[in-house]
Structure 1
Amino acid sequence: MERNDNTEIDSLWQASAQELFSAPDLQGERSADLAIIGGGYTGLSAALAGAEQGAEVVLLEAAHVGYGGSGRNVGLVNAGLWLPPDTVAKQLGEGPGEALNTTLAAAPDRVFGLIERHEIACEPRRNGTLHLAHAPGGMRDLTRRAVQAQARGAPVTLLGRDEAARRTGSARFHGALFDPRAGTIQPLAYARGLARAATAAGARIFENSPVRACQHHGGHWVLRTGGGKLRARRLLVATNAYHSATEGTQLPDLPVVQFFQIATEPMGHNIAGDILPGGEGAWDTGPVMTSLRRDAAGRVILGGMGAGGPIHEGWARRKLARLYPRLADAPLAHVWAGRIAMTGDHLPRILRLGQEGLAVFGYSGRGIAPGTVFGAAAAQALLAGEEDALPVPAVDSHAEALSALRTLGFEAAARMVHLMAARL
């Protein structure tokens, strides 16, 4: 149910991942307690949790583990969603909303705990994140977010312009919101590490095994690939922004945001030592968001909304030079892009699929920590036959209006902003 497209991308994460993982494709007939479609954070976390409970788990990945958003994203392990916590509570209702806020506030603990327990070599650095004010209005937004987070006991700190400049190495920002609960990882290596841990726990993972048909009858889900068939009592679809229509299982058509990144060659301390010297990951308050971080080798990585190509890449070059003039001519080692599945209210969904089936989607740009938590919870709910422990209530249906048009609108907005920036 993921796109059967094995084309490699020029991703820094592909080039630098220390964790290695490979698995055969599905051949012949197999059976399982839980079938999982999709080898990203949600599916891999579910496979690990299910196998640790003693269940027979089989995961089918259309390409390779981490091929989708889990191997292309920025690598920020955040506490919470893109939405402020008051908005989460308002949209879900106070009880479920505050339960989700509490769960996701602790989600980085889950991620870094798994990394430590399974010794995942993914460059984990829990030095916090910086939400940067791109303009004075952004600082007002950060102030509201700080008040809401602090009211819930979060140890976040609002930083003024001078401190933001010291933390980032650039005077271009008007302030920042610092969250010490968060951190950064090498995202593809984390996905591969989860796959290794799930396999060690007894889960069976098959790559290059796109599901051609999926039907429920006789009390079982029957999944067919090009070379095999899988029967399972329970099903989890964890394809998110890389879902493809498959016979027997239909998911809502979601708007998609493209997000691209550029990475420099490794920069020595004499050149880039004052760029995010504390090791935080960062993103800004701009309506067309920009991300900024460094990796363990000292590469500077800048990202932005857009599908890539000359317009966006030209903007990224100019943006990097404005933030750090000495990097104006820095050689670029990698340029890549990925897709983000956006729901209209920016809340993730858990959708019931007939009998004993669930689909999880719509993290809206916050996939690492929520995906890890949602995947494990979905596996527990399916294997136990009860939904009480799900992070959000499951729903029987979900629809997004004008998904294709909104997808085009996101890209058009990013292009317009990046073209206008070229004239400034």
Structure 2
Amino acid sequence: MLFRFSKFGTAAAMQTDLRSHGLWERTAPPAPYAEALYSTIDTDVVIIGAGYTGLSAALHLAQAGYAPVVVEAAQIGFGGSGRNVGLVNAGMWVKPEDFPGVLGPIYGQRLLTLLGQAPDLVFDVISAHAIACEATRVGTLHCAPDERGLSDLTERTRQWARWGAPVSLLGAQETARLIGSCDYKGALLDRRAGTVQPLAYARGLADAAIGAGARIFVNSPVTGMMQSGDRHIIDTPRGQVRAAKVIVATNAYSTGPFAAISDSLAPLPYFNVATAPLSPSMRARILPEGHGAWDTRSVLSSFRMDAAGRLVFGSVGGLGRWDAAVHRDWARREVTRLFPQLAGVDFETEWSGSIGVTATRLPRLHRLAPGVVAMAGYNGRGIAPGTAFGRVLADMTAGHTPDSELPLPVMNLPEPDALRGLRGLIYAVGSGLRHFAGARRPR
């Protein structure tokens, strides 16, 4: 059966775990007031999950005159929406011309168009609702540490340029100027992109949705779901929501009745660390124009500055009991190798989360039951796609967009990935081994 019933306790607030949200929890504006669900509510649409997708759907539905109710197991932005590095990128990891090969020409073109324009939506929403989230839109840099990476970026640049995207392939000298490191042979500059404080953006979306008429309930994990006539009944430990339509926006953090969603994804751990604010002279030399960046390595690194001049640096891997020291020590060595002027600079905060990875590296749109839809698998590109698909789900749920006009085919949830645990272990152990050996000798 699709919906599995389980009982589990209310999730703890994110503030109790300093490694869950790190810098973002310390520097984000407070979340809008929300309490747990203690009553029975009847509404037209209930949304499960208060991340980018769920909050965007709530905002767009409320603006269209609906009265959506959002039910969140923990806190606003608790999942990947409050833990990522904060790069607002266009597209996905898949090259543009690979979209039709995976989805066919119609859906491939639709999805590519949607995701290519998704950063516009993010920054338009931020501007329209005056969301205080350190938004910067000067572009991002996809960096090549070797000739293989440079070849990949050359082809990506060619393909995006064919779509009219404002992208450029930079040489080593210009890349070194914009990064502040001579480690890269070139970079793809995508001017559509930018950076945000990711938890602040999630909280700002929530505030905008509430202002438009949505209701959000936190610390209310869904413990069961059933259908009664034309209504779906969503149970939480202390309350219940009855709705005609359901949007499930829990992705890699799906549990309880919706655990089959996360079971169909391979979990990719990712961690970030952040320095204390750097001196003005260091800030003038490292990412001087405010670009976010990441590289083409299979175990990639990403880095950016926050508004206070902290260097945020991340990579594949978790911060569990056995691997935290490995990844932390590697990050110190790698930051020093990239930016020798930071030798001896320690990290002020660290945090980690999980990315849901699909076999195609493209997101999936599911119909779990009549009137119940779900998104899954942003593959590490949650901010712009999550915001865009939140609007898509809102339009779909409101009946404005039929299945035939959607940017993805609607599919049943696949069977659980039998190798999910193994894939997750490979990601975790592989990144740990790579980082244990990495940066110990010159490349």
TM-score by length of 1: 0.97
Query: Paired residue for 1:313?
Result: 328
- Superposed CA deviations along residues 225-270 of structure 1, whole A, max 9, x for unmatched, are 11101100000110011111327x7435111101001100001211
Shift of 1:19: 5.0
Contact 2:47 2:246 in 1 (8 A): yes
Per the alignment, residue 413 of structure 2 pairs with 397
Between the aligned partners of 2:197 and 2:87, the Cα distance in structure 1 is: 9
Residue 76 (structure 2) aligns with: 65
Pick from 389, 392, 409 the counterpart of residue 426 of structure 2: 409
| 1:251 equivalenced with 2:261 (yes/no) | yes
Please show how residues 18-417 of structure 1 align to structure 2 within 5 Å. 18-246=29-257, 250-251=260-261, 253=263, 254-308=265-319, 309-384=324-399, 386-399=402-415, 400-417=417-434
Q: Kindly, what percent of the aligned residue pairs are identical? A: 45
- How much does 1:422 deviate? 5.0
- Contact kept? 1:351, 1:398, Cα under 8 Å: no
Answer whether contact 1:378 1:390 (CA < 8 A) is retained: no
Task: Point out the more displaced range, 12-21 or 120-129.
Answer: 12-21
Q: Which amino acid in structure 2 is aligned with residue 123 of structure 1?
A: E
State how far apart, in whole Å, the 2-side matches of 1:140 and 1:13 are.
35
Match in the other structure for 1:421 = 438
> Structure 1 stretch 194-203 or stretch 412-421: which is displaced more?
412-421
Deviation at 1:273, TM superposition (A): 1.4
Distance in 2 between residues matched to 1:38 and 1:109, nearest whole Å: 23
1:143-200 superposed Cα distances (whole Å, 9 cap, x missing partner):
0101111111111000111111011000011110000010000000000000000000
Deviations 1:367-417 (A, max 9, x none): 000000101111210121733453211102324341111111111110111
CA displacement, residues 302-333 of structure 1 (integer Å, 9 cap, x when unaligned): 10000020001110010000011121211311
CA deviations on 1:334-379 (whole Å, 9 max, x unpaired) are 0100110000110101110111010111000000000001011112
TM-score calculated relative to the size of structure 2: 0.93
Matching residue's letter, 2:438: A
Over 3 Å counting, the alpha-carbon distance change for 1:214 and 1:370 in structure 2 is same
Q: Deviations over 1:83-138 (max 9, x none)?
A: 11111121011111011111111111100000000000001100000000021110
Letter of the 1:56 counterpart:
A
Distance in structure 2 (CA, Å) of the matches to 1:415 and 1:9: 21
SS where residue 333 of structure 2 aligns? helix
Q: Structure 1 residues 113-122 or 81-90, which shifts more?
A: 81-90
8 Å CA contact 1:259–1:307 kept in 2: the answer is: yes
Q: Distance in 2 between matches of 1:219 and 1:357?
A: 12
Change over 3 Å in CA distance of 1:89–1:66 after alignment to 2: same
* Corresponding letter in the other structure for 2:430: A
Distance 2:284 2:311 in 1: 11
Q: Structure 1: which amino acid aligns with 2:17?
A: E
Q: Secondary structure at the match of 1:106?
A: helix
What runs of 5+ residues in structure 2 fail to find an aligned partner?
A: 1-5
SS at match of 1:251: helix
Cα distance in structure 2, aligned partners of 1:20 and 1:362: 26
Q: Would you say the 8 A contact 2:170–2:188 is kept in 1?
A: yes
- Distance in 2 separating the partners of 1:321 and 1:234: 52
Aligned partners of 1:384, 1:410: CA distance in 2, in Å?
40
After alignment, is 413-422 or 314-323 more displaced?
413-422
Q: CA RMSD in A?
A: 1.6
- Structure 2 letter corresponding to 1:397: L
Is the contact made by 2:222 and 2:256 (CA closer than 8 Å) also made in structure 1?
no
Which residue matches 2:11? 4
Is 1:374–1:391's contact at 8 Å kept on the other side of the alignment? no
Q: Structure 2 vs 1, CA of residues 38 and 101 (structure 1 numbering), >3 Å: closer, same or farther? A: same
> Match for 1:420: what amino acid?
A
Distance change >3 Å, CA 155–CA 411, structure 1 → 2: same
Q: Secondary structure at the match of 1:353?
A: strand
Q: Aligned partners of 1:75 and 1:423: how far apart in 2?
A: 28
**Preserved CA contact (<8 Å) 2:266 2:421:** yes
CA distance in 2, matches of 1:397, 1:21: 33
